[in-house]
A and B are shown apart, each in its own frame.
Chain A
């Protein structure tokens, strides 16, 4: 086997795993392979996928963003609060998204200007943003939006069949794929992640690239928050807790290296879908949620071990 074929096969590993898993589930549960169920899975996946897209950029920079779950909650609470105060839902959603990007920007500033390790910086803001959410919501859910826009965003369909969150996820995916693959900015993300010193000496604006990437991660978390809030028709102060781990899992299963500089967003999409299918399939099969955790953990470890073995 030539090195190129081997590399391609390895890259496609998660996809092959996804296909095998789907075939097995289809054989075991007649409910799995129905259009309704699959679209439902994709809708559930969309929240994690969006966060994981942003996380892919951060991890390509050899960084990490632990604050995404809290960013999701705070931006959603803000959006809900503004609507509750009578603001136009579209405008409130926009403000929520901008707030998410701003929270991401703050993460970026702490990392670049404050020279704090991303893990620590976002561990701090994770707690900070969550605390702020609690203060803002007084610890109770904000609910009851009577808005067509919010209904459509969470529960609407395009052509009467494709859920709107799925459409949004695919559009965002396409745009971010293009950014990473075809633009100067995307190239600089890989370069900074691969070797920040060489990038700086080559005239790459290393700090600015990082600021944009952390802002993007915040924006993606806020977008996921807007969809989740619309879907549930309420903003929960505890929303998004632990979502950072699912997002990191999707990125890692997709083959992006935590060491930075190497990876692709296609893998992240596959990783997110794989996790969603696994959840759905285990539910259909009636596996207890305790065992579901165990199986998910094994899948994540297997993905990383296979990736390691392939690199030797």
Chain B
């Protein structure tokens, strides 16, 4: 069925989020919806699946105008959405989740046998074999949870599937499985809306692309006839220059040296050196122990054994406080749960790592604090009306810059970055890369964990590749390719 959204407008209070937006989806196509954070993609999709109602405009399905007032209406029209934040209830089993809200029953008593049969059928239909339907959903990997969500959508006989950043937390292998599944659905005539920031994926899997900017529809292209630069220009309304800005830094003396690091469960035998001014990328599949390296070194998780030297001196770090005292900073993977105190202001978040330095006798010097915060906001070009605003009111990219500002405040010698651009839009990414380059230029040694291979290859000087908790090798980024990295990451020699 063909879905057409015409002249859609939506405002929240005085803020216009969408203005006269057009969108169409044909059966059997994968249609990318792109735009920077805040462009209105999510709102548009929430209107299509009944979470919000448009203030103005119409939705047509197979040529007939329809009203979608709630998610039940959307389901009835065969529209299903898979949210970025997965909506499974972790304590319930896969089966219970699949049938949540529409349980099969006989006179109020659950018909477990029927539900199990159907669940197995749905999962088999997707070609998913490794999911135990009795397992608690929370114990599945993110990729498996996503499969369950897709199975749920298909069990509703969805003809239109909206996927909001489905690959953000998937391993590369899981992404391949997901793409295979999407192609299969496409061949069966399902229309898929694909919302993502990952350009490579869009060019790999999508047929058409629609771009939003500031709540307005700016264009639609056929993927075959367009390219990276054109899409980015549509999205940001200007050229962003180099996607990965160049860095020209003389690499200095070794700063951080790690020998035989072992955390007792996820990683062992990790040894490497990072020099002043150098970016060491850490690549590997999800679950290979990438993040565990930096978490163990920072004292965020327990370390069983291993030696660490900073500027030639042996150091012992058992908790984050010790790491910070030694001048080590850590931009964590998930800024909402680990990086920021969302209910606090930009100012309070920035100075949280080093407030004692801005205080005398335990009393904070307001002038010093404001001065420092103003300086960092200016230096990192954090876009906020006021340092007193709650940090949660900022865009993803600006929130991430606040996390960087936090760590610049301790004048770091070594900085660990775990997925530094996750959930950040194209324009914001380029700015964060620029910040990384400037930090390297000032002599900071950087260890950057990333699941985005183009990012690792372009931003690193050397790349440590992880495979099943051990290091598969360290490669020179100038000569490494995506293939060599993937080869090592999947256990090839």
Contacts and interface: CB of A to CB of B under 8 A. Distances in A.
Q: Do A and B come from one complex?
A: yes
A40 B36 CA distance: 61
A6 to B, nearest CB: 11
A198 B338 contact: yes
A261 interface: yes
A184 B338 CA distance: 20
B11 interface: no
A184 B300 contact: no
A201 interface: yes
**From A182, A201, A261, residue with most partner B Cβ within 10 Å:** A201
B352 A191 contact: yes
Contacts of B300: 200-201
B320 A202 contact: yes
B109 interface: no
Contacts of B356: 184
B127 to A, nearest CB: 37
Contact of B352 (A183, A185, A204): A204
B338 A187 contact: no
B492 interface: no
Given A182-B364, A183-B364, A203 B324 contact: yes
A199 interface: yes
Interface in B329-350: 330, 332, 337-344, 348
Interface residues on B, range: 20 to 34
A199 B341 contact: yes
Interface string B423-438: 0000000000000000
**From A199, A203, A262, residue with most partner B Cβ within 10 Å:** A203
A262 B352 contact: no
Contact of B341 (A184, A191, A205): A191
B362 interface: yes
B359 A183 contact: yes
A185 B364 CA distance: 9
Interface string A186-201: 0110110011011111
Contacts of A187: 348, 352, 355, 364
A261 B341 contact: yes
A151 B235 CA distance: 76
Given A200-B320, A202-B406, A203-B324, A194 B342 contact: yes
A183 B337 contact: no
Contact of B343 (A182, A194, A205): A194
B200 to A, nearest CB: 31
A203 B356 CA distance: 11
Interface in B302-332: 320-321, 323-325, 330, 332
Nearest to B325: A203
B355 A190 contact: no
B342 A195 contact: yes
Interface residues on A, range: 20 to 34
Contacts of A261: 341, 343-344
B353 interface: yes
Contact of B338 (A197, A204, A262): A197
A190 B344 contact: yes
A194 B362 contact: no
B353 A202 contact: yes
Contact of A191 (B325, B339, B348, B364): B348
A197 B362 CA distance: 23
Interface string A167-194: 0000000000000001111011011001
A201 B341 contact: no
Contact of B362 (A183, A200, A202): A183
Contacts of B324: 202-203
Interface in B233-249: none
Nearest to B369: A187
B358 to A, nearest CB: 8
Contacts of A182: 363-364, 366
A132 to B, nearest CB: 34
B339 A198 contact: yes
A189 to B, nearest CB: 12
B344 A191 contact: yes
Contacts of A201: 298, 300, 320, 330, 332, 338-339
29 contacts: A182-B363, A183-B362, A183-B364, A184-B359, A187-B352, A187-B364, A188-B355, A191-B341, A191-B344, A191-B348, A194-B344, A195-B341, A195-B342, A195-B343, A198-B337, A198-B339, A199-B341, A199-B352, A201-B320, A201-B330, A201-B339, A202-B324, A203-B320, A203-B324, A203-B325, A203-B353, A261-B341, A261-B343, A261-B344
Query: Nearest 6 CB-CB pairs, A to B?
Result: A194-B341, A203-B324, A195-B341, A202-B352, A194-B343, A202-B353
Interface of B: 298, 300, 320-321, 323-325, 330, 332, 337-344, 348, 352-356, 359, 362-364, 366, 406
